[in-house]
Amino acid sequence: MRVADFFCGGGGFSEGFRQAGFDIVFAVDKWEPAVTTYKGNKPYVNVIKDDVVRIANLPDYEFEALVPDCEIIVGSPPCQSFSHSNKSGNADKSLGIKLIEAYLKIIARKKFKKDPVLRYWVLENVPAVKDYIKDEYTAADFGMEGEFVLKTNSDASGKYNAKYFGAPTNRERFLCGEFPIPVATNNDDNLVTLQQVLDSLGDPLRTDNSLITDINYPDLKLESQNVTDQHYIYKLADFEYVTAKRLKQDKGYMGKMSFPENTSKPARTVMATMSCSSRESMILSCESGGYRLPTVREVASMMSFPIDYWFYGKSKATKHTLVGNAVPPKMSYAIALAIAKAEGLQIPLSYPRIKHDDSIDFYNLNGEVFPIKEERSRRAVAKFKYHIPYLIVDSYRVELTNYHSDFENKQFKWDSEIHYSQGKDKAKIYTPKIYTNDLPSQYLDDISNFIIENRAKIQGADEFQKAYCMTTKERNEISYLGPYELLGNIKNFIDEKIDAETKKQSLFIKDEPQVLPLVIVVGYFILSHIINK
């Protein structure tokens, strides 16, 4: 059976069908590295660089001349606008909807044409896209003539997680269309873990040439040095992993994430951008100490690409994007297998090796040396908003911010605030006046001494802003406190001076909210008296 792949990317969706023995005849994407990667791994396929929206709206003659009749069509329209990681799910969806409807129009044109051959079609995207795909589309919805209705919500439509099909990644996606329900191969008791991926590939700096057995395809073995994009290290600078750890484990009211990665489970969802110092950063421990990012090959194996699959990007970033945007081949294989069984087709008994297009230049990351990044100074008008670290009690936290500054005229103002909860309906900000007699008397001397000691390391609002904009090394050289250092000092003071039982107590104050956790009052009092001097 023939397969056409729209928004084909680097070929993950097609790869599962290739492994299942299907005849892939056509693919299209508008991103050059994706088209090149597809060609490099599937040189026998007619893959073109083109705009799917343009193709969907071609006149009938041109459309049929370009897009061959196929029994199966698959597609994965770009999902960035639907992802919850993009502006917390509030990104503009109009382009994403346009791309989805272009794909569905192509399905309709092939399904409802005279003498159609299309039997199965699948659309893959992030789970949130479900709310933007209608159950039915009429001919008029696509600007077409006729009385047909394209139904998208079949019995097989729904959410699927790649980890249950053997991929070592926790990647949930929404599938809809007309296809048999794919059968899971794994359950929560036998998932493939991140540690298994790392163990199978070994130390990225290994110099031996012994065989590597693919964790996803056990009958695929390659000599170590023939596994591309694996033998290098991208080590993180101290400031990068410190930032990433803070965002992962102390990001406001969000839950804690593992730092470094929890390797006893499948990998978290692989992202298209392999950032170093964000909440979504995927960070591993280095065998030599410190922390590093995964190699392109490691994340490709997490996504269940075979180790003989090549990514034809001209940079590390491009290769990561090719991997992170893909459909995991193990998931697409499960769909292909379900179709093959429904059609009574035989599938290959072993993994079919890839034959690359030798005419395409390939940039291999093996042996590349990536220098550790140097911390840069922040802009003079950089904004700051953060709380006393790891101190959220009964949904209260103490926050330090310069958001009320006159940034245009570089007149800086630092404020301490008490924040409560989050969300439009629950979130509140308090700036009460706390007096010395509001505090437990046994802590007054220590609090006073701490305030005096830390005040001496801050030379005023403008100087505090300058310290914030310096690098960590620059601050250390002049013994200035920056905002993060000050907040950290306050947290250490609270942990050292206030015992566990006292931390559970509450205090009454005159201003709203009148009752606050004791440690929140102490932290707010200290921060206010230091920065409001």
Residues with catalytic annotation? 79
Is 321 in contact with 34 (CB distance < 8 Å)?
A: no
Query: Which tokens sit at 458?
Result: 């801050």
Query: Which tokens sit at 447?
Result: 């609090």
Residue with tokens 């059968």: 183
Query: Which tokens sit at 262?
Result: 């929890």
Rounded to an integer, what distance in angstroms lies between the CA atom of residue 47 and that of residue 30?
11
Q: How far is CA 438 from CA 163, 197, 426, 487, 507, in A?
A: 54, 56, 26, 22, 8
Nearest to 150 by CA among 115, 180, 176: 176
Burial 456-487 (b: 16+ CB within 10 A, else e): ebbeebeebbbbbbbeeeebeeeebbbbbbbb
Residue type at 287?
Answer: E
Rounded to an integer, what distance in angstroms lies between the CA atom of residue 319 and that of residue 471?
31
φ, ψ for residue 500, nearest 5 deg:
-60, -40
Rounded to an integer, what distance in angstroms lies between the CA atom of residue 261 and that of residue 266?
10
Q: Which residues, 6+ apart, have CB-to-CB distance to 157 below 8 Å? A: 174, 175, 176, 177
SS3 state of residue 357? coil
Query: Is 88 exposed, middle or buried, given 0-12, 13-18 or 19+ CB atoms closer than 10 A?
Result: exposed
Q: What is the 3-state secondary structure (H, E, C) of 35-46?
A: HHHHHHHCCCCE
Nearest to 400 by CA among 352, 468, 354: 468
Nearest to 29 by CA among 50, 59, 12: 50
Is 322 in contact with 33 (CB distance < 8 Å)?
A: yes
Residue with tokens 């995991």: 328
Query: Which tokens sit at 140?
Result: 């008029």
Nearest to 368 by CA among 319, 309, 301: 319
Rounded to an integer, what distance in angstroms lies between the CA atom of residue 137 and that of residue 155?
17
Rounded to an integer, what distance in angstroms lies between the CA atom of residue 503 and that of residue 515?
14
DSSP single-letter state for residue 255? P
Query: Which tokens sit at 443?
Result: 């802590």
φ, ψ for residue 75, nearest 5 deg:
-165, 145
